[in-house]
Structure 1
Amino acid sequence: KLNKKIEEGNLLMRWGEPLAVYDTNATEQTQNQIQLFYESKGYFDAEVDYQLKLAGLQKKRIIVNYLVEEGTPHIIDTVFFNTGNDTTIYNLLEKSRDEVKLSQNSTYDQNELRAERERIEILLKNNGYYAFNRQFIEFNVYQSADTNLLSVEVIINKPAKQPFHKQYKINEVNFTTDVNSQLGGRKRQLEKFNNINYYYYKSSYRKKILDQRVFIRPGALYSLDETFTTQRQLANLDMFRFVNIKYDTAGGEFIANVFTSPLDKYQVSNEVGVNVNVTFGLPGPFYNVSLKNRNPFGGIEILELSGRVGFDAVANLSDQTQVTTATEARLNLSLTFPHFLLPYGSAIKTKFGLLNPKTRTGIGYSFTDRPEFTRSNFNGSFGYSWQNKKDWFYDFTFADINLIESEITKDFNEALKNQSRFGQQLSRTFLPSFVSSGYLSVTKSFNEYGLGANKASFIKFYGEAGGNLLNIDAVAEVADESDLANFQFLKMAVDFRHYLPYGKESTLAFRINVGAARPYGRFAEGILPYEKYFFAGGSNSIRAWAPRRLGPGSYVAVDSASGNFDYRFEQPGEIILEASVEARRNLVGFLDGAVFIDAGNVWNFEDRGKPGSEFSFSRFHKEIAVGTGFGIRIDFSFLLLRFDVAFKVYDPARDQGERWTVDEWNLGNKRNYGPALNIGIGYPF
């Protein structure tokens, strides 16, 4: 540390850019680099020069101006292949001409030559040319006389002492399922299935299921893509510690060897943590535990038992200044199969193996104990998930069934009745209920969003339909005779996020979240299940408002005694529109800073007794709440703690003409326009 201070100065001295001292060699190197850059972009006749100019009162500053005369760019007119006498490679290249990276009638660019070299290497490796590499690829560029037109010759050089590049056909596939396992010197058993040799000490995995994830076949040409696909899909099973695939060319044969080492059959995971209540700043401890049993029935299934118990500090409904404890507990049992449980043949199942298919079944129980109510939920679900080659991830839950039972206190019951006067009918959500639905979630991460420091995006589409069976007369008759509350609804949402680095240590992050949910049918009585509503406000939403307290629309409850806005109750909505922009920058070491702007609100399709809560195209833009603020993030690499302070800028709950609130900011909480502290783990988006 002492040497660092001597060499680089103290903390304040290390901030900013280092002093730039003029260097003639650096100037000439920059001139040469600019020259090379223009030539690489097709400006072969470009000329680069520079001029120096003294500046400053004492003429001790130098301004360097680089002067570039680009000249005429050179255009690629023709691309042709030269493979010598190798007609097989020539035919492959001609068949894939539509994929050539060198665009005819476009400006010459060395990056396109590099991309074409990579394309040809992958093309040939996917067609049996195991020993081929990009060093055999050469380019000759010819310029037509007195023109700027270019002809590019793509040459495939032949290997040393051989007339042709050899195409490798797989003679045999060996799959060892238990590498690093030893059983007292015993020899591994051999089992053949679908022309693949399986070696093992103990037959632990059903070969019919494993075979669906192997895409290397005897008699087929070597393929780099099929090799990577096999490796990836076997790893997706969550059964093996590693998956290695090696090829043996000894003895004139070409043998594929697949080696896997099994993970532990049983895996226990524990997590202890603390959630911080934003309103009171009090810690709420929680404990998560899960027990995973791999391959319990020999069909490469995963059986998992997980549980959670947590405590949180909440406000008492009758006295908002009093803090009480809320308890939440969950227990879930899930069984996941590595294929679709559908009646179709093995050939189709193998094709589906490319999609990393899974069938998920599960049952669960959750319990919530708050001062105002207790709530129990029995849950059962059945669904499928898969992922296509373009990394779109699909999660289709065919059936999600919930049986909900609640008990409420006398005081809370009175509060719900008061809410019902405004048409909210929240009391219905606390009746014994049967909620069934099915949903489809489609997500895509572009360029590994959230994992790297590059430009990246994320998008999620979500659609859900609830109570569909109630449209059948026979089911509706049974529901009429039942004492349970039933719901019918449709719900859709789109969430888009974008991550844009700029400068050395700065990033702009954007988020747009849009959704709508609507009850329908006579069973719904115009009400959604409480968990299906949208809410705005909180550390991952509009941070200037308390969690789930913004909206709907321009509506706000008013305390009759004080005349102040009453934020005691959560404010559910049927429509949501949110957008956030956040600029992030590393300050020093593990400390990051951010400034942000959040905007959005929730609305209902009808006012339901809450004036201003219904969505209207003519005025919704006037009801978009706006908040801004700044934050500090402590990045421990394995954990990121986030502290955000936000202020309300535009409050749609106020009368028109009085909604801009910057002049009412204060450091206390006067009229709810003081700072809102948000504490969270991880980025808000």
Structure 2
Amino acid sequence: MKTRYSILIFTLLILYSCSGTKNIPEGDLLYTGHKIEVNGEKTSRSERKKIEKSLDELIRPKPNRSILGMRPGIFFYNLAGDVKKEKGFRHWLKYKLGEKPVLFSEVDLAYNKKIIQNHAENKGFFNVKTQADSTKTRKKATADYVVSLNYQYKIKEIQYPNDSTSLGKEIVGLKQNSLLKLGEPYDLDKIKTERARIDVKLKELGYYYFNENFILTQVDSTVGNHEVKLWLDIKETTPEKARKAYHINNIYVYSNFKLEQDTLQENSSAAEKYKNFTIIDREKLFKPSVFENTLNFEKGDLYNRTNHNLSLNRLITLGTFKFVKNQFKESDTIGNYLDAYYYLTPLPKKSIRVEALAKSNSANYSGTELNINWSNRNTFRGAELLSIKAFGGLEVQVSGQNNGFNVYRLGGETSLIWPRFITPFKVHTASGFVPRTKASINYEYQLRTQLYALHTFQSSFGYMWKENERKEHNLNVFDITYTKPNKVTDLYREQIQENASLEKVIQKQLIFGPTYSYTYTNTMYTQKKNTFYFKGALDLSANATGLIMGANDPNNPKSILGVSFSQFAKFETDFRHYLNFGNETKLASRIILGVGIPYGNSNELPFVKQFFIGGTSSIRAFRARSIGPGTYLDTTNNTFLPDQSGDIKLEFNTELRTKIYDFIKGAVFVDGGNIWLLNEISDKPGAQFSNQFLKQLAIGTGVGLRFDFSFLILRTDFAFPLRKPYLPKGQEWVIDAIDFGDRNWRKENLIFNLAIGYPF
């Protein structure tokens, strides 16, 4: 009994400590948050809820985060005590994991009341009444606000400038797409946004010196029954130069600008005239054509903000300059013209970087990799990037049937990137991202201990370009891969006798042809409720070659240099949707569809191009690459777990993510899918794709934690299957068999995944 009482008392002490009130200064209270009550019979309930939500975000200060009434942040803050050093464990505990208590003495009720009053009036509630008070209980206090709304005023009339100046006429011409609409509620934020919109449009029309503060907005609330009239006009104090549209005159580029320079001489001996530009580069570091391909302005162009920003963005994305600065000045020689100046500070030409990485892959392998990267920027004075990389790594499977079959990787890559399209004809893009041409050649030696080794040579030449920050294209005109086996062990050859499909892993492979991928994403817009990611990829091999050589019999394949080449067409899509609920809660969903069609010289896709499913970033309730194809189950007594592959893939995942505490996030997920073969193979019954594919899906579920340490995200998932497609017909669903208390069930079904980063 004493032990139980001791545990109870200890637990109560911990809970008391976590409540956050233990070390509150005498005479003060712990601030636990606020309550807002919004009243008003003249306003709809939905509108009151909307106002209440917006006011919630304005009230300051924010209280300490709590979990079930406990405030662990304050507990850790107090636990760390006095911290004198600005680093170390105690500093991390106090200021990263912990939170300083928010005291009621920090709350300014009068100030918050004023904020509430102003916000309501800015939304059109001109006769609002507000009250502020507090509720105190023991060592805690809350702030209480009451808002009484009346009628919300609507827009009855909008008056734009009626003068005859060019600027006035341009503003009047912009009213067609105005954000302000008759009959809608008065909203000061929307009025400000409309002024900003007008300013943006005028910048596109040459009005460089204009800004939104030159637009005067007046309101008359006496024109009707709870209605207002708006006047948008040009302030009389607007400078004369802000009323004029400007063109571009001279363009000066300081391509080797040093920040410590005090004076700039456009007409110095270092200046070089090139078409529309004047290049100042005493050391001749760059070819003038670099700037012709990068800058969007030409002499005589009407100034516009789009080309202004695109030029800066292209200079930055060249990856050659450390600092990029731009300035426009009124021309001394001609009126209503601007001279453009670009001050560019190059990065060091040569650099070396050493990286030590922790990594995990879809095959449930974890390990480390060491990369050594040497770069030469501006290799041929055209902002080219020459990179040479050497790498080595080790991957192990901590648990699972492949434990002990470690993977060693060693290799290197050489690539050269040109900041332009290298084509027989001139191509210019209006994107803010510089298009690139890339040529690369690499080699990798992979040793799977106790099994085999592979030598892989790869070379490619192609183009990369972005339409904007959301849309990206990658086209390899040719992509050649040659794989040669080495050191195949007797153990692996013995397994081939039992499973003939293992032999294709160690066959010589020659793959060549174009590849293309398109990516669209708006996931960088974190404030949007719905965001998307889409990637579509097309991979073709030996299409023209097979036609020329008459390759139409996979049983008697054509060869190049004694190696049979693969012939296929492969298409794959990856679509993701993210639904943001706010408060760092998100529903993430993904669907993957892939199809590979071998033909001509091949009756199946080469192993490196086939699809796999299962593992830490796929269907997490099944071991990596252990599912399928179809209903097939490998019953051979393999010493290791062979990779199951297919020509067709369908996978879907959905995961609800939410914040638990500071850097800890939780997830509940469901995964499903399978792979199939396009053609029937006698030793893999049930593997061929058919119209019964929906009845052959593997499904699993689970929960997980994500630890966000800023420099990496460590992910842990516990998952278990709900449906096993390889079980006898009618017995595939295994929900009734779930028994967490059964040790044998846990051993057979419960899968623990440890990985780095989110699965999608």
So what's the TM-score if we normalise by structure 2?
A: 0.75
2:637 matches 1:554: no
**What is the SS of the residue equivalent to 2:499?**
helix
**In 2, Cα distance between equivalents of 1:97 and 1:61:** 47
2:349 matches 1:265: yes
2:718 matches 1:638: no
2:724 matches 1:663: no
Aligned 8 A contact 1:537 1:544 in 2: yes
**In 1, Cα distance between equivalents of 2:377 and 2:524:** 28
**In 2, Cα distance between equivalents of 1:159 and 1:168:** 20
- 1:236-255 mapped onto 2 (5 Å cutoff): 236-249=317-330, 254-255=338-339
1:386 is aligned to: 465
1:369 is aligned to: 447
**What is the SS of the residue equivalent to 2:586?**
strand
**In 2, Cα distance between equivalents of 1:29 and 1:234:** 45
2:33 is aligned to: none
Could you list the per-position Cα deviations for residues 633-662 of structure 1 after superposition, in whole angstroms to 9, with x for gaps in the alignment?
332211222222222233223232452246
Of 197, 216, 228, the match for 2:297: 216
2:71 is aligned to: 14
Aligned 8 A contact 2:253 2:343 in 1: yes
**What is the SS of the residue equivalent to 1:102?**
coil
Superposed displacement of residue 243, structure 1:
0.6
1:113 is aligned to: 191
Of 624, 640, 651, the match for 1:578: 651
**What is the SS of the residue equivalent to 2:558?**
helix
Of 151, 154, 161, the match for 2:232: 154
Superposed displacement of residue 118, structure 1:
1.1
**In 1, Cα distance between equivalents of 2:538 and 2:465:** 17
**In 1, Cα distance between equivalents of 2:142 and 2:442:** 72
**In 1, Cα distance between equivalents of 2:568 and 2:470:** 30
Superposed displacement of residue 429, structure 1:
4.6
2:272 matches 1:198: no
Please say which of residues 542-551 and 585-594 is displaced more in the overlay.
585-594
Please say which of residues 102-111 and 333-342 is displaced more in the overlay.
102-111
Quick one: which amino acid aligns to residue 435 of structure 1? Answer: I
Aligned 8 A contact 2:247 2:303 in 1: yes
Q: Are residues 96 and 604 of structure 1, via their aligned partners in 2, closer, same or farther at CA, if it must alter by over 3 Å?
A: farther
Q: Are residues 452 and 396 of structure 1, via their aligned partners in 2, closer, same or farther at CA, if it must alter by over 3 Å?
A: farther
Quick one: which amino acid aligns to residue 311 of structure 1? Answer: L
Could you list the per-position Cα deviations for residues 315-372 of structure 1 after superposition, in whole angstroms to 9, with x for gaps in the alignment?
99xx958614321122111111111111224xx53x4565521111111111111121
**In 2, Cα distance between equivalents of 1:546 and 1:601:** 13
Could you list the per-position Cα deviations for residues 202-235 of structure 1 after superposition, in whole angstroms to 9, with x for gaps in the alignment?
1111111222111233333332222211111011
2:525 matches 1:445: no
- 1:262-341 mapped onto 2 (5 Å cutoff): 262-275=346-359, 284-313=367-396, 320=401, 323-341=404-422
Q: Are residues 567 and 472 of structure 1, via their aligned partners in 2, closer, same or farther at CA, if it must alter by over 3 Å?
A: same
Superposed displacement of residue 677, structure 1:
1.5
2:492 is aligned to: 412
2:548 matches 1:467: no
- Identical aligned pairs, as a percentage? 25
Superposed displacement of residue 587, structure 1:
3.4
Aligned 8 A contact 2:361 2:616 in 1: no
Superposed displacement of residue 141, structure 1:
5.1
Q: Are residues 226 and 409 of structure 1, via their aligned partners in 2, closer, same or farther at CA, if it must alter by over 3 Å?
A: same
**What is the SS of the residue equivalent to 2:306?**
helix
Q: Are residues 396 and 322 of structure 1, via their aligned partners in 2, closer, same or farther at CA, if it must alter by over 3 Å?
A: closer
Aligned 8 A contact 1:491 1:515 in 2: no
Of 419, 432, 436, the match for 1:358: 436
Quick one: which amino acid aligns to residue 517 of structure 2? Answer: S
Aligned 8 A contact 1:544 1:648 in 2: yes
Quick one: which amino acid aligns to residue 470 of structure 2? Answer: D
**In 2, Cα distance between equivalents of 1:372 and 1:299:** 47
**What is the SS of the residue equivalent to 2:23?**
helix
Could you list the per-position Cα deviations for residues 257-301 of structure 1 after superposition, in whole angstroms to 9, with x for gaps in the alignment?
1111110111212111344699999x6332111111111112221
Aligned 8 A contact 1:170 1:220 in 2: yes
Superposed displacement of residue 412, structure 1:
1.9
**In 2, Cα distance between equivalents of 1:673 and 1:222:** 69
- 1:155-174 mapped onto 2 (5 Å cutoff): 155-160=233-238, 162=240, 165-174=243-252
2:577 matches 1:493: no
1:510 is aligned to: 588
**In 1, Cα distance between equivalents of 2:666 and 2:490:** 47
Superposed displacement of residue 442, structure 1:
1.2
1:128 is aligned to: 206
Q: Are residues 124 and 538 of structure 1, via their aligned partners in 2, closer, same or farther at CA, if it must alter by over 3 Å?
A: same
1:90 is aligned to: 168
2:758 matches 1:683: yes
Could you list the per-position Cα deviations for residues 81-126 of structure 1 after superposition, in whole angstroms to 9, with x for gaps in the alignment?
205332x223433554453323456555444323221111111222
**In 1, Cα distance between equivalents of 2:381 and 2:667:** 51
**In 2, Cα distance between equivalents of 1:267 and 1:453:** 39
Q: Are residues 519 and 648 of structure 1, via their aligned partners in 2, closer, same or farther at CA, if it must alter by over 3 Å?
A: same
Q: Are residues 95 and 484 of structure 1, via their aligned partners in 2, closer, same or farther at CA, if it must alter by over 3 Å?
A: farther
Superposed displacement of residue 14, structure 1:
0.9
Q: Are residues 145 and 592 of structure 1, via their aligned partners in 2, closer, same or farther at CA, if it must alter by over 3 Å?
A: closer
**In 2, Cα distance between equivalents of 1:394 and 1:279:** 28
Superposed displacement of residue 175, structure 1:
0.8
Superposed displacement of residue 252, structure 1:
7.6
**In 1, Cα distance between equivalents of 2:441 and 2:364:** 35
Aligned 8 A contact 1:517 1:533 in 2: no
**What is the SS of the residue equivalent to 1:515?**
strand
**In 2, Cα distance between equivalents of 1:142 and 1:164:** 28
RMSD of aligned residue pairs (Cα, Å) = 4.3
**In 1, Cα distance between equivalents of 2:577 and 2:544:** 39
So what's the TM-score if we normalise by structure 1?
A: 0.83
- Aligned residue pairs total 655
Aligned 8 A contact 2:210 2:242 in 1: no
Superposed displacement of residue 475, structure 1:
6.8
**In 1, Cα distance between equivalents of 2:434 and 2:276:** 22
**What is the SS of the residue equivalent to 2:247?**
coil
Aligned 8 A contact 1:514 1:576 in 2: yes
Quick one: which amino acid aligns to residue 439 of structure 1? Answer: T
Superposed displacement of residue 196, structure 1:
1.2
**In 2, Cα distance between equivalents of 1:444 and 1:219:** 35
Superposed displacement of residue 244, structure 1:
0.6
Q: Are residues 50 and 10 of structure 1, via their aligned partners in 2, closer, same or farther at CA, if it must alter by over 3 Å?
A: closer
